[in-house]
Amino acid sequence: MTKQINMDQQLVYRFGGGRADGSQEMKNLLGGKGANLAEMAGHPELQLPVPPGFTITTDTCNAYYEAGRHFPAKLEDEVMAALERIEELTGKTYGNVNNPLLLSVRSGARQSMPGMMDTVLNLGLNDETVQGLIAQTNDPRFAYDAYRRLIMMYADVVMEKAAGIPPVQGKGIRKLLDEHLEGIKKARGFELDTELTEADLRQIVAHFKAIVKREIGEPFPEDPMAQLWGGIGAVFDSWNGKRAKEYRRIEGLPDEWGTAVNVQAMVFGNMGKDCATGVAFTRNPGTGEHKFYGEFLFNAQGEDVVAGIRTPQPINEASKNTQSENLQTLEEVMPEIYAQLNNYQQQLEAHYKDMQDLEFTIEKGKLYILQTRTGKRNGTAAVRMAAEMYQEGMIDRPTALMRVNPNQLTELLLPRLDAMAERAATPIAKGLPAGPGGAMGKAVFSSEKAVELRQAGENVILVREETSPEDVDGMYHAAAVLTAKGGMTSHAALVTRGWGKCCIVGCNGLDINEAEGYFTTPDGAKVKEGDYISLNGATGKVYLGSMPVVDVDLADNDAYQTLMALVDETKVLGVRANAESPADAANALRFGAEGVGLFRTEHMFYGKGSEKPLYLLRKMILSANRKERRAALKELFGYIKSDIKKTLAVMNGKPVTIRLLDPPLHEFVPHDRQRLEELAEELAVDVSILEKRVLALHENNPMLGHRGVRLGISYPEITETQVRAILEAAAELNMEGRQALPEIMIPVTCSRNELQDQEKIVKCIYKEVCASLGVDEIPYLFGTMIETPRAALRSGPMAEIAQFFSFGTNDLTQMSFGFSRDDIGGFLPIYLEKGILVNDPFQVLDRRGVGELVRLAVERGRAQRPGLKTGICGEHGGEPQSVAFCHRIGLDYVSCSPFRVPIARLAAAQAAIQHPRQ
């Protein structure tokens, strides 16, 4: 939808000389750069030395397209009037042979957008005006250098890229001109551009023009007005260039925005030793420290600082790094200018109330500010700036909380590779950065080896072609996971993300030989089992050798503590953790969990220390009859009780939701002959009989098979044993002076009758335990998971019995979509690519479908039982968008893996700010 330009609409907004037509509020119309230039130039509190100029509005861009790429009729008059104003302010005239004004043309959409047109500097130069520039500056070398730069930029940006013609000779005009320049330097035996003489540069200008004409088929425009309009048109055209369109598609930005064009008087940082150009931040963007930070180059123009041709110098002591520690600072060389710049940066930050990223140029001892914008920052810096700006009284609590993207907290929570060590090393491979943080350990190629070495106290990194559910134990024990295949939603990426474990996937240069235990890299490096490697999960880089991994200590991080205190004052939604061991629970508390939202009893049968309980469980599963089963359960009882008791003890005073046994029994039975024989002996039956029992447990579709509440109904003694363990553990803790708050949760239910059946067992055991331990009361809740669509629909009747609902959104997603979680790899990437799904529904809760079921179940459940407690557990509980949804539909809490608890807390606080609950 393109807007029509009406007659009285202003198309051109001027700035400079202490005044501006626009302001920072006008980003939509003037673009980000233009709005900020206007603000800096014209706001009474600022009135900074911004070279004068004007901004052509985004509406003009839209009108340009509407008219089939023609400028609106009245644009010319407005541009000419604005140009005159620049001429007045600078005392120079555009296109004038004696005293020429030079201009820059800069693009500027609402958001900074890679893919938009690059800036063209020095517009207005030609064979005649260059003489004027020589007269003005008394520096012919400088003048010809500026001229050859203009030809190069103009040919590249305007004549080639914006015009959309294919790169000449396959490499593009800029490269071609660059090669020519290098050729001349080489012929003269020069190393640096600065060695070229005036005569050289004059010759280069002539050659450049000839090359442009020959290669592009059109001459470089000598007419300054043609240059200006060519530049303006090119900015507009770049809005619909391939790169810009691609970027908008990926970022979901609308085509209707259009771009503004900024035209501005040139100032020169490259006119000699008293000239410089630089980039600075009002606070350190890497650490967040409240210190002015920046880099600059003497005698340089435009983006030389960013281009990295020369090592930039630090503006002050605080900006020194290992490369620049011996260089002179701006503060040392030009103390007055530095003081002025320091003043401006303070003004800018106070004005915008956020960290600013600014560009400055010093021309012959005079300072100019060319740009300001809100600076990008990493997670560590974001937290520190938000907390400190709040403490300084610069911003209020909601603003501070909205400043940090919850996912950025991840950076603060994880151990990472020592930055110094990493800088000194060269990566041997690079993959997709699936999991944050860093890790170091011995390479291993199988899950078993990972567990074995880990139990022997070694740090290991599991290297696999790709991972599958069988690798989970090894992944759990590994410090990190590295896979050659798979994308950001592969099994390895998903599982490790939940744990906050470092992971690199899709490292497709690796040639992995799992059987023989080694991999080779594209460069031929060979890493064998037991060799140390180090991974940076934030960049996807893999290093050979062991690098120090530095742990983070949140207790020491004042900024984090300050921010999280604000979080807790603000959020309404509770945040619990999924934990299945005392260690998990302790971690959860450290991260601020208010309870355990999911404790899976079956966890005790996996991994370290599980041999004996697993053996007993198997005995129970393969029992021939109820009597044998009861006997096995009796032996198992002590293990279950102590397992639960330990976690309840750690969570003292906080609720712990304990889910009764959920997986299909077949998952636990031994599949190797030796184990089966041992069991057969113990149960005094023949192996063949046992084999038959194992076979009988086999199911075609175990996900939808004999599991969850169905086990408890067909084998009531399984429920009895677990409930007795929970209640005894709780009662004993209470007698020891602690406060246990168990919540007994029945999994995979879909009807009221199932719950009633199980409740009867619970009530009966409750009486027995109270009587046998001689207590009057053991506080507990009885509730259910809602993880089938039918349960969501029948939540009203189910709430007659359940005191709480916990939405198992993993299974609920699986069953609502009919997508098997373990098998989506085949089609999900295609769905995402074609836009059939916007997100992976296992990562971001599907609000329209699955979320609607949750909302409805809460509504029906609460209608039946007003005090019904509701929460979700599963991957979504730690995902910010999903957390926000849970807040909006009025859940009591979300539960997620311990390490995602801070992320969920911040997301909950932000949701409370954006959608206050009545």
Residues with catalytic annotation? 491, 873
The residue among 49 and 702 lying less far from ligand ADP, judged by its C-beta, is 49
3-class DSSP state for residue 545?
coil
Site for ligand ADP in 77-106 (CB under 6 A): 104, 106
Segment (H or E) for 684: none
Give the binding range for Mg ion (CB under 5 A) out of 1-9, 368-376, 428-436, 499-507.
Answer: 368-376
Return the residue of 58, 361, 647, 721 that touches ligand ADP, per CB under 6 A: 361
Q: Is 483 one of the binding residues for Mg ion (CB under 5 A)? A: no
Give 464's strand partners.
Answer: 483
Q: Report in angstroms how near the CB of residue 343 gets to ligand ADP at its nearest.
A: 19
- In the bound complex, what is the minimum distance in angstroms from residue 198's beta carbon to ligand ADP? 22
Beta bridge partners of 417: 549
What are phi and psi for residue 783, nearest 5 degrees? -155, -170
* Sole window of 258-266, 607-615, 617-625, 662-670 interacting with ligand ADP (rule: CB under 6 A): 258-266
The reply to whether 870 sits near Mg ion by the rule CB under 5 A is no
In whole angstroms, the minimum distance from the beta carbon of 257 to ligand ADP comes to 16
Closer to ligand ADP by Cβ: residue 359 or 529: 359
Kindly determine how many residues on this chain lie close enough to bind ligand ADP according to the rule CB under 6 A.
Answer: 15
User: Which CB atom, from 121 or from 661, has the smaller least distance to ligand ADP?
Assistant: 121
Q: Residues near 838 by Cβ (< 8 Å), separated by ≥ 6?
A: 832
Q: How far is the CB of 191 from ligand ADP (least distance, A)?
A: 24
From 227, 319, 329, 371, residue interacting with Mg ion (rule: CB under 5 A): 371
Please report how close the Cβ of residue 275 comes to Mg ion at its closest, in angstroms: 18
Q: Is 302 in the site for ligand ADP (CB under 6 A)?
A: yes
From the CB of 107, what's the least distance to ligand ADP, in Å? Answer: 7
Burial of residue 693 (CB within 10 Å: 0-12, 13-18, 19+) is middle
Which residue has the CB atom at the shortest distance from Mg ion? Answer: 371
**Least distance CB 429 / Mg ion (angstroms):** 31
- Beta bridge partners of residue 440, listed in sequence order: 534
> Which helix (H) or strand (E) covers residue 442, if one does?
strand 438-444
Binding mask 43-72 for ligand ADP (x = CB under 6 A): --------x---------------------
Indicate which of ligand ADP, Mg ion, none lies near residue 816 (CB less than 5 to 8 Å, by partner kind): none
Helix 558-570, helix 901-914: angle, nearest 10: 50
Alpha-carbon dihedral angle through residues 798, 804, 806, 811, given to the nearest 10 degrees = -20
Sign of CA dihedral 484, 485, 491, 493: positive
| 904: Cα separation from own chain's centroid | 14
Binding at 497: pick from ligand ADP, Mg ion, none (beta carbon under 5-8 Å per type): none
Measured from the CB of residue 246, what is the shortest distance to ligand ADP in angstroms? 18
- What character string, x for contact with ligand ADP (CB under 6 A) and - otherwise, covers 102-121? --x-x------------x-x
Q: Which among Mg ion, ligand ADP, none contacts residue 778 (Cβ within 5 to 8 A by kind)?
A: none
Amino acid type, 749: T
**Amino acid letter, 722:** Q
List the structure tokens of 476: 């759990």
Look at residue 728 and give the partner it binds from ligand ADP, Mg ion, none, a contact being a CB closer than 5 to 8 Å depending on partner kind: none
With CB under 5 to 8 Å by kind, the binding choice for 596 among ligand ADP, Mg ion, none is none
Residue 370 interacting with ligand ADP (CB under 6 A) = yes
Collect contacts of 757-761 with beta carbons under 8 A, ≥24 apart: 757/712, 757/713, 758/709, 758/712, 758/713, 758/719, 759/801, 761/712, 761/716, 761/719, 761/720, 761/723
Q: Establish if 357 lies at the interface with ligand ADP (CB under 6 A).
A: no
Helix segments in 774-827, DSSP class H: 789-793, 795-801, 809-817
Under the binding rule (CB under 6 A), the answer on residue 559 touching ligand ADP is: no
- What phi and psi values does residue 389 have, to the nearest 5 degrees? -65, -35
Contact between 502 and ligand ADP by CB under 6 A: the answer reads no
**Cβ atoms of residues 76 and 377 within 8 Å:** no
- Of 592, 491, 567, 506, which Cα lies nearest the Cα of 898? 592
- Residue 407 near residue 910, CB atoms below 8 Å: no
Strands (E), 728-810: 741-746, 781-786, 804-808
β-bridge mates for residue 544, sequence order:
533
From the CB of 15, what's the least distance to ligand ADP, in Å?
Answer: 12
Among 21, 255, 274, 303, binds ligand ADP (CB under 6 A): 303
Residues 404-443 that bind Mg ion (CB under 5 A): none
Task: Determine if 493 is a binding residue for ligand ADP (CB under 6 A).
Answer: no
Q: How far is the CB of 263 from ligand ADP (least distance, A)?
A: 9
Q: How far is the CB of 22 from Mg ion (least distance, A)?
A: 18
The site partner of 302 among Mg ion, ligand ADP, none (C-beta below 5 to 8 Å per kind) is: ligand ADP
What is the SS3 assignment for 287? coil
Is residue 122 part of the contact set for Mg ion (CB under 5 A)? no
**435 Cβ neighbours under 8 A, 6+ residues apart:** 480, 481, 493, 496, 497, 500, 501, 502, 503, 504, 537
Instruction: Pick between residue 101 and residue 168 the one whose CB is nearest to ligand ADP.
Output: 101
CB of 280 to Mg ion, least distance (A): 12
Identify residue 259 by its one-letter amino acid code: T
Identify residue 427 by its one-letter amino acid code: P
Query: Using CB under 5 A, which of the segments 340-348, 369-377, 420-428, 909-917 binds Mg ion?
Result: 369-377
The stretch among 2-10, 262-270, 594-602, 724-732 that binds ligand ADP (CB under 6 A) is 262-270
- Taking CB within 5 to 8 Å according to partner kind, which of Mg ion, ligand ADP, none is near residue 746? none
Q: What are the C-alpha distances in Å from 51 to residues 44, 247, 267?
A: 17, 31, 7
Residue 267 binds which of Mg ion, ligand ADP, none (CB < 5-8 A, kind-dependent): ligand ADP
| Using rule CB under 6 A, residue 270 touches ligand ADP | no
**CB nearer ligand ADP, residue 117 or residue 632:** 117
Nearer to ligand ADP, 121 or 901 (CB): 121
- Parallel, antiparallel or unpaired: strands 120-123 and 103-108: antiparallel
Q: Residue 361 binds which one of Mg ion, ligand ADP, none, with CB within 5 to 8 A depending on kind?
A: ligand ADP
Which CB, 307 or 525, lies closer to ligand ADP?
307
Picked from Mg ion, ligand ADP, none, the partner binding residue 303 (CB below 5 to 8 A depending on kind) is ligand ADP
The residues near 506 (Cβ < 8 Å, ≥ 6 apart) are 431, 432, 434, 483, 484, 485, 486, 487, 488, 490
**C-alpha of 774 from chain center:** 54
Among 371, 570, 784, 795, binds ligand ADP (CB under 6 A): 371
149 or 865: CB nearest Mg ion = 149
Determine how many CB atoms are found less than 10 A away from the CB of residue 686.
10
With respect to Mg ion, which residue has the nearer C-beta, 107 or 895?
Answer: 107
Q: What is the secondary structure of 340-391 as a DSSP string?
A: HHHHHHHHHHHHHTS-EEEEEEEETTEEEEEEEEEPP--HHHHHHHHHHHHH
**Stretches 225-233, 265-273, 458-466, 687-695: which one binds ligand ADP (CB under 6 A)?**
265-273
CA distance 243 to 246: 5
The answer to whether 244 touches 115, Cβ cutoff 8 Å, is yes
What is the pattern of x (binds ligand ADP, CB under 6 A) and - over residues 216-255? ----------------------------------------
Closest distance of CB 119 from Mg ion, Å: 6
- C-alpha distance from residue 464 to each of 459, 471, 503, 541 (Å): 16, 9, 11, 16
Question: Which residues contact Mg ion by CB under 5 A?
Answer: 371
Site residues (CB under 6 A) for ligand ADP? 51, 104, 106, 119, 121, 264-267, 302-303, 359, 361, 370-371
